[in-house]
Amino acid sequence: MSRLRPLLRLGLRLLGPLLLVYFLFTIDDPRLIWQTLRNANLWLFGLSILLVVPFFLLKGLRWQYILRAWGVPLPLGEATALYVIGIFLGVVTPGQAGDAVKAWYVRKRGYPLSTGLASVVVDRLFDVGVMGLLAASGLYFFWDILPGGRLLNVLVVAGLLLVVLVGLTLAGSRRLRALVFERVLPRLLPRTLKAKLAERLAASGSGGVRGLHLAPRDIALVTALTIAGLVWTFIRVYLLFLAVDTHIPIGPFIALVAILSLVQPATPGGVGGRDAALVLVLSALLQIDRDQAVARALSISVLLLLLNVENVLIGFVLSLRYPLADMRQEALGESALSPGEHI
């Protein structure tokens, strides 16, 4: 099993580039890709670039609110900057160091590391939860074109929604959370991780995981902030679709973007997997030939990549204000228990 794991990881890393190469070499007229990009509306693309500001602010505000609910005061500007730095480090470092950096910074301010780690997990959970619900609408819009069969897609979406429901239940129930972290997990984890978990629980103070509680009002407000942030995400991405003259009804578009956000982590940078999903949906939804679908899909992917580059560059600039070397070193050391993050 230990030998198969590296091969599986290598296969997943190669899957995306192989899919991309497949599309590039099977399109009848590769010039369509360049023509689509060359004719893209730069004003719409530029507007999408500028809208990163409210997107980052809402992300920072949500994380700030989660921490404040757990007694950790953090200025909005600092929370937003750390969120963006987390995106930057998530790209340039292995593992989930970008998330671990935020947790490490919470500890540096004198609060338990477990609180920082839990805040990152919960923050991510709300994104995945709302996106999962929106992706579930894809069963309605794309019932006849999703690969894998109808039963498999229903099971995948149902499993995702179950995970979200369990996560929200844990966030809202002190007793259940304590039961899972203090009794159930120690029996299931390997000995090394069990020792680390015990260390984190001991470091979290007398309240332990019971103190990391979100009241129904907190859950409602964090959900509202999540939806507001996703609205800006959808607006930015929709501008990219319009920039390459790809008009899709709002309902299917939202479902498509939600599906893309969930399949993107399957391959490095979403390369290949995102393109395959776009080609599949665009060709069926717009009733265009395969070459046109591939050209538009790859053009949209290039523009999405540029948005991600923008996020990374902003994160790099902000990281110059923080002790990046120390943050990276400690984050990598803590990443064994950090959670698994955006268009």
Enumerate the H helices of 27-147 as residue ranges: 31-38, 42-50, 52-69, 76-92, 97-108, 113-136, 138-141
Q: Cα angle at 89 between 274 and 43, to 5 degrees?
A: 55
Per-residue pLDDT of the chain (343 residues; tens, 9 = 90+): 456 666 666 666 777 778 888 888 888 888 999 999 999 999 999 999 999 999 999 999 999 999 998 888 999 999 999 999 988 887 777 655 677 788 888 888 888 877 888 888 889 888 888 888 887 777 777 766 666 555 666 676 677 677 767 776 766 666 776 676 666 666 655 665 556 656 665 555 544 555 567 778 888 899 999 999 999 999 999 999 999 999 988 988 988 888 888 777 666 666 777 888 888 888 888 888 888 989 999 999 999 999 999 999 999 998 888 765 555 555 445 444 443 334 4
Report CA 41 to chain centroid distance, whole Å.
27
List of residues 6+ apart from 116 with CB closer than 8 A:
72, 102, 103, 104, 105, 106, 107
Q: How is residue 48 written in tokens? A: 């999408």
Ramachandran category for residue 143: left, alpha or beta (phi over 0 → left; psi -120 to 50 → alpha)? alpha
The reported pLDDT for the residue numbered 171 is 64
| Cβ–Cβ under 8 Å, residues 90 and 29 | no
| Cβ–Cβ under 8 Å, residues 204 and 198 | no
The reported pLDDT for the residue numbered 195 is 62
Return d(Cα 15, Cα 21) in angstroms, integer: 10
Return d(Cα 340, Cα 278) in angstroms, integer: 25
| Residue 335, H or E segment | none
3-class state of residue 247 by DSSP = coil
Strands (DSSP E) contained in 146-227 are: none
Q: Look up residue 142 and give its DSSP letter.
A: S
The reported pLDDT for the residue numbered 129 is 82
Inside any domain, residue 30: no
Q: 209 is in which domain, residue-wise?
A: 36-337
The reported pLDDT for the residue numbered 209 is 53
Three-state SS string over 216-242 comes to HHHHHHHHHHHHHHHHHHHHHHHHHHH
Inside any domain, residue 22: no
Inside any domain, residue 15: no
DSSP secondary structure letters along 19-55: HHHHHHHH-S-THHHHHHHHTS-HHHHHHHHHTHHHH
Report which of 342, 265, 263, 274 is spatially closest to residue 308, judged by C-alpha positions: 342
| Residue 110, H or E segment | none
pLDDT digit string, tens, across residues 175-228: 776 676 666 666 655 665 556 656 665 555 544 555 567 778 888 899 999 999
Report which of 171, 162, 131, 104 is spatially closest to residue 342, judged by C-alpha positions: 131
| Cβ–Cβ under 8 Å, residues 61 and 225 | yes
The reported pLDDT for the residue numbered 335 is 46
Inside any domain, residue 254: yes
Inside any domain, residue 23: no
Inside any domain, residue 147: yes
| Cβ–Cβ under 8 Å, residues 293 and 256 | no
Ramachandran category for residue 330: left, alpha or beta (phi over 0 → left; psi -120 to 50 → alpha)? alpha
| Cβ–Cβ under 8 Å, residues 126 and 65 | no
What does the CA dihedral 133, 134, 139, 140 come to, rounded to 10 degrees?
Answer: 120
What does the CA dihedral 279, 55, 335, 269 come to, rounded to 10 degrees?
Answer: 20
Phi, psi of 323 (to 5 degrees): -70, 80
Number of domains, the chain: 1
The reported pLDDT for the residue numbered 338 is 40
Inside any domain, residue 236: yes
Cα 90 to Cα 331, 339, 342: the distances in Å are: 11, 12, 11
